[in-house]
């Protein structure tokens, strides 16, 4: 697998834009300012996108197990996602184990032409039956023993739970001690439940505003707790799941709000019917819904479109880039991805002046765009 090279353009670094050249192999070796050879229509060079909530793509669902994770990672990388978490659905333990065994192979070894799979986002089955969204009604109360069994199969980096259920809040310190980032989501809890979860060690919120109690001024819920107290939260910026005005409100309140796709098997596919775990979903006019149309069911979003959407609602490119790259890396505690600086992995995205992808590199490997 050939890696490495040199690129010229407008390089977005943690210290600002450098007009010049970047040299790399699997990691970034050097960055040289040379403004005399770079024009204002030169390509943008951004850190590769990091998506911490991906269910599927190209008619394949992570819950399919086997080679599904490779297919999903191969689709999303063409849209600039250089690292991701494979995300499960609420299901029986046997079905989750099947998915994790497939993910384990992709985590252990990145296939050529694929994004790096950093681990698992376990979204369910530890959710509220009142806030299932597109999740099937197979919820259970979490136990440390079950989480440890699953964690031993494939590394769980993020776990979503409803803190008001049973002993979930009391369990959070033990989960964080395993190195798992606990997120509050699919929850009918109160504001106080959300605050208690944060105090116990929860560190984020799953697809903010979606699948959670809201922001009523006399009965604030989980979303209000996030706005009042969170440093990190994920959000789906497809402009269908959350109105642009609410995205702007969240940006003012949550310092490191970051983008996710919540992408399903419908991503990269024409309108039609697809699987989301055991559910059947329909893609139509860019949105994905349950068969009866009652609920949005994940998305068909890609991270390059997420970046463009954030810019379209008023973010400058550096801020938008942080929210698709640096902040999700920081959230996981990953210091050598999500930024362009010497020593970091050469996960790079070249964009034209319209922010369309021209080239992607994963750990120095060149990958053609979609």
- 368 pLDDT tier (thresholds 50, 70, 90): confident
- Residue with more model confidence, 268 or 227: 227
- The answer to whether the pTM exceeds 0.85 is yes
Is 94 catalytic? The answer is no
Q: How many CB atoms within 10 Å of residue 130?
A: 13
Rounded CA Rg of the chain = 20
Category of 59 on φ-ψ map: left (φ > 0), alpha (ψ -120 to 50) or beta: left
Burial of 344 (0-12, 13-18, 19+ CB in 10 A): buried
Residues present in the chain in total: 370
105 within some domain: yes
Number of structural domains in the chain: 1
Look at strands 287-290 and 204-205 and give their pairing.
unpaired
30 within some domain: no
- 1 pLDDT tier (thresholds 50, 70, 90): low
Whether residue 125 is preceded by a cis peptide bond, meaning omega within 30 degrees of 0, is yes
35 within some domain: no
CATH label of the domain that carries residue 191: 3.20.20.140
* Residue with token string 């706005």: 227
Please say whether the beta carbons of 77 and 54 come within 8 A.
no
**Residues β-bridged to residue 204:** 183
The sign of the CA dihedral 102, 108, 111, 114 is positive
What span, in angstroms and rounded, lies between the C-alpha atoms of 188 and 181?
20
Render pLDDT for 125-173 as a digit per residue (tens, 0 to 9).
999 999 988 888 999 999 999 999 999 999 999 999 999 999 999 999 9
**What is the predicted pLDDT for the residue at 198?**
98
Q: Phi first, then psi: what are they for 345, rounded to 5°? A: -60, 145
Render pLDDT for 324-351 as a digit per residue (tens, 0 to 9).
999 999 999 999 999 999 999 999 999 9
- 59 pLDDT tier (thresholds 50, 70, 90): very high
Active-site residue among 51, 64, 193, 262? Answer: 262
366 within some domain: no
Percent of the chain with pLDDT over 90: 85
**Tokens at residue 230, please?**
């969170």
Neighbouring residues of 349: CB distance < 8 A, sequence distance ≥ 6? 45, 46, 47, 48, 49, 80, 82, 304, 357, 359, 360, 361
Domain of residue 84: give its range: 48-337
Mean pLDDT over residues 222-244, rounded? 97
189 within some domain: yes
13 within some domain: no
319 within some domain: yes
220 within some domain: yes
């Amino acid at each position: 697998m050939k890696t490495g090279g040199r690129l010229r353009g407008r390089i977005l670094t943690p210290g600002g834009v450098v007009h010049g050249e970047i040299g790399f192999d699997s990691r970034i070796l050097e960055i040289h300012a040379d403004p005399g050879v770079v024009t204002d229509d030169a390509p943008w060079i951004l850190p590769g996108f990091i998506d911490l909530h991906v269910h599927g793509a190209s008619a394949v669902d992570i819950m399919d197990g086997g080679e599904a994770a490779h297919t999903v990672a191969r689709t999303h990388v063409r849209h600039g996602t250089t690292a991701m978490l494979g995300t499960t659905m609420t299901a029986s333990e046997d079905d989750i184990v099947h998915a994790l065994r497939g993910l384990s192979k992709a985590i252990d070894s990145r296939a050529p032409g694929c994004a790096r799979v950093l681990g698992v986002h376990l979204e369910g089955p530890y959710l509220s039956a009142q806030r299932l969204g597109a999740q099937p009604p197979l919820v259970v109360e979490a136990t440390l023993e079950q989480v440890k069994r699953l964690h031993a199969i494939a590394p769980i980096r993020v776990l979503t739970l409803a803190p008001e259920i049973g002993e979930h809040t009391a369990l959070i310190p033990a989960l964080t001690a395993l190195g798992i980032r606990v997120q509050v989501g699919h929850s009918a809890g109160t504001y106080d439940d959300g605050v208690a979860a944060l105090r116990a060690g929860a560190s984020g919120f799953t697809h903010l505003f979606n699948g959670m109690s809201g922001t009523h001024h006399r009965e604030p819920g989980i979303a209000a707790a996030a706005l009042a107290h969170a440093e990190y939260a994920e959000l789906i910026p497809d402009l269908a799941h959350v109105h642009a005005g609410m995205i702007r409100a969240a940006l003012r309140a949550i310092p490191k709000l970051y983008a996710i796709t919540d992408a399903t098997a419908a991503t990269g596919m024409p309108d039609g019917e697809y699987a989301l775990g055991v559910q059947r979903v329909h893609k139509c006019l860019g949105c994905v819904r349950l068969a009866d149309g009652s609920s949005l069911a994940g998305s068909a979003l890609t991270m390059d479109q997420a970046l463009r959407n954030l810019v379209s609602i008023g973010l400058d490119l550096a801020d938008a880039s942080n929210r698709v790259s640096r902040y999700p890396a920081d959230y996981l505690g990953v210091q050598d991805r999500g930024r362009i600086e010497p020593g970091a992995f050469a996960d790079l995205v070249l964009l034209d002046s319209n922010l369309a992808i021209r080239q992607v590199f994963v750990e120095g490997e060149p990958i053609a765009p979609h």
